[in-house]
């Protein structure tokens, strides 16, 4: 069977990085099936174009993954694909919370033949086998023999063959410039941001975030060796093909277990596996000078920090009072002193925000070292 894994575009921005789920499920697909990937952010298509592609490539199953923000588009694409007679299975954070919506059990139209709930590492091979036999079930849930949810341990972790995949659609250098830059021999003819996970789960349970609910509060890590091997393979591939490769450790809180993060960073340095990297780390964990030294030595360039608010009352209200606005400036200066910069993320519209909050937040940001502040509106996800 030929399978297409499709991630819809968000209609606003061109994502700077492909989604890990597609590469992971491709790697976990049982032998004998071929998997094609399309990310709408990198390769935009409307319904007609996607259906034409599916017919031309003789696709027998389409898997769609989406966050809430992209779900309306995901459903429209799914409807067109199903109307063309190809079954659709959907997964990811949105349909996990409201599977009845995707399956049309809430009184609305049906969009998917099957839904994969939660982490699909273990259910995906079964979904493929059932689809190949024409016997898709409606719901696939990762349960153990007693009916309890089973989370993948991440040990062992599948080897994603980045070096053997066609990553052309995810190149950050616009196509017309690639040949010119390649001819110049600058090594910047091709630039990729690669998503890597070193662990899953976060126990903090901030009220606005779906991560603790989805991945659970039990944290799981890959072995250091498995992460280092992945980096070394990527580094070799980048050198051989004269590409620039950067890594985004997509863990929700890369330093949630500081001891383990330090040991991973030490192993990366010892193996000379450094590639420029970005990760998400909460401000409270960046008090640790040794951790910040290791981030710099392992080539950490940008740290995404969920500041959320400069108001402690707001933070307490959303269960994130481990964030201390009074120490934000010190944390950012500690990073900047080592040439590491921060993507500082804020939520606007928290319950205690009052008139003038944006102005106050901007004034505070202006007192910090340069970085990339980003702002989102408080959004109730299902
Ligand atoms: C990296 C990341 C980003 C990256 C970009 C995404 C990318 N290219 O990877 C950046 C930083 C840009 C980003 C931005 C945003 N993100 Co984000 N992001 C993440 C993060 C941290 C990791 C995603 C990941 O790769 N996880 C690891 C993989 C393995 O897990 P997974 O994607 O869930 O896939 C598994 C299952 O869901 C399932 N599955 C998934 N898809 C499919 C499809 C099929 C067919 C099947 C069978 C199974 C399946 O199988 C996989 C393996 O088990 C998650 C949190 C998290 N830990 O997942 C938030 C998360 C996905 N983001 C979230 C949000 C809200 C956003 C933003 C809207 C924030 C904002 N206000 O702007 C933007 C929107 C981006 C956009 N495209 O428009 C929310 C989504 C909640 C929801 N219900 O929609 C999450 C869950 C975090 C949270 N705070 O709750 N994000
Ligand atoms: S620390 Fe980050 S990932 Fe963890 S629950 Fe809070 S916002 Fe979500």
Digit-coded pLDDT (tens) for 49-76:
999 999 999 999 999 999 999 999 999 9
Q: Tell me, what's the pLDDT at 188?
A: 77
Hey, how many other C-beta atoms are within 10 angstroms of the C-beta on 267?
17
Pocket of ligand 2 (CB under 6 A): 202, 204-206, 209, 211-212, 252-253, 282, 306
- Residue whose Cα lies nearest atom 89 of ligand 1: it is 209
Q: Tell me, what's the pLDDT at 357?
A: 94
Q: Following DSSP, what letter does each residue of 187-198 receive, concatenated?
A: S-S-EEEEEE-S
Instruction: State pTM to two decimals.
Output: 0.96
Q: How close is the Cα of 321 to the center of ligand 2, in Å?
A: 12
Q: How close is the Cα of 381 to the center of ligand 2, in Å?
A: 14
d(CA 101, CA 290): 48
| Largest Cα span, the chain | 62
Closest ligand 1 atom, residue 127 Cα: 47
Question: Among 201, 203, 206, 218, which is best to mutate for testing ligand 2, by the most ligand atoms less than 8 A from CB?
Answer: 206
d(CA 121, CA 153): 10
- Give residues with Cβ within 8 angstroms of 272, minimum separation 6: none
Mean pLDDT, residues 109-124 taken together: 97
From the CB of 27, is ligand 1 less than 6 Å away?
no
More confident residue, 359 or 212: 359
Beta bridge partners of 245: 192
Question: Among 203, 211, 218, which is best to mutate for testing ligand 2, by the most ligand atoms less than 8 A from CB?
Answer: 211
Digit-coded pLDDT (tens) for 264-302:
999 999 999 999 999 999 999 999 999 999 999 999 999
SS3 163: helix
Alpha helices (H) in 155-252, listed in sequence order: 178-184, 211-215, 224-240
d(CA 164, CA 349): 45
Residues 99, 199, 294, 373, Cα dihedral to 10°: 0
What are the backbone angles phi and psi of residue 376, rounded to the nearest 5°?
-130, 155
- Give residues with Cβ within 8 angstroms of 182, minimum separation 6: 189, 190, 242
Q: Tell me, what's the pLDDT at 186?
A: 67
Digit-coded pLDDT (tens) for 26-41:
999 999 999 999 999 8
Count of H helices and E strands in the chain? 14, 14
From the CB of 141, is ligand 1 less than 6 Å away?
no
Q: How close is the Cα of 280 to the center of ligand 2, in Å?
A: 10
Q: How close is the Cα of 65 to the center of ligand 2, in Å?
A: 21
Which of 240, 260, 252 minimizes the C-alpha distance to 200? Answer: 252
């Amino acid at each position: 069977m030929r399978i297409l894994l499709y991630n819809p575009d968000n209609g606003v921005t061109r994502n700077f990085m492909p989604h890990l789920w597609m590469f992971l499920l491709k790697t976990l697909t049982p032998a004998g099936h071929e998997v094609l990937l399309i990310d709408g952010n990198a390769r935009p298509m409307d319904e007609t174009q996607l259906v034409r592609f599916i017919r031309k490539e003789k696709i027998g199953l389409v898997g769609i993954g989406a966050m809430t923000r992209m779900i309306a588009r995901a459903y429209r694409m799914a409807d067109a694909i199903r109307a063309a007679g190809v079954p659709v299975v959907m997964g990811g954070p949105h349909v996990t919370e409201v599977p009845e919506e995707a399956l049309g059990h809430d009184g609305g139209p049906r969009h998917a033949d099957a839904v994969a709930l939660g982490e699909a590492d273990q259910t995906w091979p079964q979904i493929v086998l059932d689809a190949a036999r024409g016997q898709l079930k409606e719901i696939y849930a990762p349960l153990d023999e007693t009916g309890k949810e089973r989370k993948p341990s991440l040990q062992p972790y599948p080897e994603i063959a980045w070096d053997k995949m066609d990553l052309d659609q995810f190149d950050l250098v616009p196509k017309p410039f690639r040949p010119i830059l390649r001819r110049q021999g600058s090594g910047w003819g091709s630039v990729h941001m690669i998503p890597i996970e070193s662990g899953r789960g976060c126990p903090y349970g901030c009220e606005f975030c779906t991560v603790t609910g989805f991945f659970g509060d039990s944290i799981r890590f890959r072995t250091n060796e498995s992460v280092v091997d992945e980096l070394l393979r990527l580094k070799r591939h980048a050198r051989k093909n004269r590409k620039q490769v950067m890594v985004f450790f997509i863990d929700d809180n890369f330093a949630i277990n500081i001891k383990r993060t330090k040991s991973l960073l030490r192993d990366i340095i010892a193996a000379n596996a450094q590639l420029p990297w970005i990760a998400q780390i909460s401000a409270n964990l960046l008090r640790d000078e040794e951790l910040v030294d290791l981030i710099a030595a392992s080539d950490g360039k940008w740290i995404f920090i969920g500041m959320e608010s400069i108001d402690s009352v707001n933070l307490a209200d959303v269960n994130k009072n481990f964030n201390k606005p009074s120490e934000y400036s010190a944390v950012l200066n500690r990073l900047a002193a080592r040439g590491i910069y921060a993507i500082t993320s804020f939520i606007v519209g928290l319950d205690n925000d009052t008139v003038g909050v944006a102005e106050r937040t901007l004034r505070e940001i202006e007192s910090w070292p340069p970085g990339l502040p980003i702002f989102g509106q408080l959004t109730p996800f299902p």
